[in-house]
Amino acid sequence: MSKEKDKLISKVSKIWGGRFKKNNSKLMRDFNASIEFDKRLCFHDLELSRVHSNMLANKKIITSKENIQIQKGLKLIEREIKNNKFSFTNHLEDIHMHIEYRLTELIGDVGKKLHTARSRNDQVVTTFKMYVKDELKEVDNLLKDLQGALIEQADLHIDSVMPGFTHLQIAQPIILAHHLLAYVEMFGRDRERITDALNRMNKSPLGAAALAGTSFPIDSKKTSKLLGFREPMENSMDAVSDRDFVFDSLSLASIVMVHLSRLSEEIILWSSPGFGFVELPESFSTGSSIMPQKKNPDSVELIRGKTGRISSAFFNVLTMMKGLPLAYSKDMQEDKEAFFDAYDNLFKCLQVAEGLMRALKFKPEAMKKMLTLDHITATDLADWLVKDFNIPFREAHSITGKIVNLAEKKNIKLEDLKLNELKTIDERINNKVFEVLSLDSSLKSKKSLGGTAPILVKKALAKAKSKWLGR
């Protein structure tokens, strides 16, 4: 070990190691260090330190002169980081110790006063919570952009008709815009979850110190507001041991990914020759190394695949926390890598999904062709028998099933059956049946709240623009 490194380790050990007679082994230092991933918290930690130092000065815990020195030092550190001139090393464990150590290098012993009335326990959780809050706000923006792309496509296809599916079998006719707006609602609930999560995590842990609070006359209410929180947390032990905000953020990330994965699966299906509902844009597709004709939906396959990765981050943190006693344990350091990886990938997935949705080309003619394949208005026939002839639905269902069997036996569509053939099944059937079996009639009849009737879909589209996009 060089003399310079040995000197550094010696200085670092004095920050927390007064009762230690020996330095940590290199293996322990590397194992213990988190700087490789938590350095991205640097600007939030600097902001926290600025606010904390100002509070110390306002409460006469440090002098105004000392605070001015600290603020200047923190400004210099910020500039060094932005200009890539700040040195990171495993010898300094984490970003919090890096900043404190560098501050002391720059301004001398006054820098050592910054940590008065706080612990790394409340410092770490507050900094991380500030970071998570900002990440959630960015996810909200990305979800809004994705909703905008879906609404844009819905606007283009307000008159396009497609088959709706249950069990991946053709079920009933719907409007494509109606289908797309279903995802707008899904992602809308995700945005509401973000609002809920932000409300719950809007309490500052700073002031809890190690776990018991502090004997210094601090102003936690003031610092919480200056750091963008509504108020301080009410229990010091809960403050330093709480990671519910990580649970909330990773839980909603997992749900967002499930919604993205469902959308991805549909695009994968729709782009296959068996469906042919969409044409994949080349900008979000790849080719084959051996088959020249291929255009593969790799973008959405990757989104589908990353769903498991992000969900596992949630379970990672849940499992890490499940057996921890109050208050702080080093295990909690494991929350950050899981969160960072999950949200880095979530951002990418949302950006790719939005770009793809804006570039995707739907093929209404292919959708229309599939509408003719599987007696798609059979339910309308059963409903008509109930409404016009007061037949119990189960009986009407049975009659319609027999008519479907007849059409399949003759290898024709329901609407191609002749009236006399229909009357062999039930004498009450009249000429009105052919109007009932039309796609147009089927769509117009679905007037219940949230239905696919064209007039309702147009209203739903206008509402979605107003509610989610502010238009």
- The answer on pLDDT for 34 being more than 90 is no
Q: What is the mean pLDDT of residues 290-309?
A: 91
Distance of CA 403 to the CA centre of its chain: 47
The beta-strand segments (E) located in 85-130 are none
Give the mean pLDDT of 396-401.
95
Return the DSSP state at 305: H
Which band of pLDDT confidence, cut at 50, 70 and 90, is reported for residue 285? confident
64 is catalytic: no
Q: Which CATH superfamily is domain 378-469 in?
A: Fumarase/aspartase (C-terminal domain) (1.10.40.30)
Q: Tell me what pLDDT residue 290 has.
A: 84
3-state helix, strand, coil in the chain (%, to 5): 70, 5, 25
The answer on pLDDT for 11 being more than 70 is no
* 441 noted as active-site residue: no
Q: Which of 272, 288, 329, 466 is catalytic?
A: 288
CATH superfamily assigned to domain 121-160+174-219+240-368: Fumarase/aspartase (Central domain) (1.20.200.10)
Catalytically annotated residue among 2, 25, 87, 167? 167
Please state whether beta strands 203-204 and 231-232 pair in parallel, antiparallel, or not at all (unpaired).
parallel
Mean pLDDT computed over every residue of the chain:
93
Q: In the predicted model, is pLDDT for residue 7 greater than 70?
A: no
2 band by pLDDT with thresholds 50, 70 and 90:
low
The DSSP bridge partners found for residue 204 are: 232
Q: Is the pLDDT of residue 243 over 90?
A: yes
Mean pLDDT, residues 292-319:
93
pLDDT confidence band for 1 (50 / 70 / 90): very low
Q: Is 378-469 the same fold as 121-160+174-219+240-368?
A: no
pLDDT tier for residue 267 given thresholds of 50, 70 and 90: very high
More confident position, 13 or 264: 264
Q: pLDDT tens digits, residue range 244-253?
A: 999 999 999 9
In this predicted model, what pLDDT tens digit does every residue of 174-226 receive, in sequence order? 999 999 999 999 999 999 999 999 999 999 999 999 999 999 999 999 999 99
Give me the CATH topology for the region 3-116. Fumarase C; Chain B, domain 1 (1.10.275)
CB 99, CB 45: distance < 8 Å: yes
Confidence of residue 292 (pLDDT cuts 50, 70, 90): confident
**Percentage of the chain exceeding pLDDT 90:** 87
What local confidence, expressed as pLDDT, does residue 471 receive?
Answer: 84
**Amino acid 32: pLDDT:** 75
For the entire predicted model, the pTM comes to 0.92
- Listed in sequence order, the residues at least 6 apart from 302 whose beta carbon sits closer than 8 Å to its beta carbon are 349, 352
Residue type, 415: E
What is the domain partition of the chain in residue ranges? 3-116, 121-160+174-219+240-368, 378-469
pLDDT one-digit tens code per residue, 133-182: 999 999 999 999 999 999 999 999 999 999 999 999 999 999 999 999 99
Judge whether residue 116 has pLDDT over 90: yes
Q: How many Å from the N-terminal Cα to the C-terminal Cα in the chain?
A: 64
Q: Give the separation between CA 156 and CA 3, rounded to whole angstroms.
A: 69
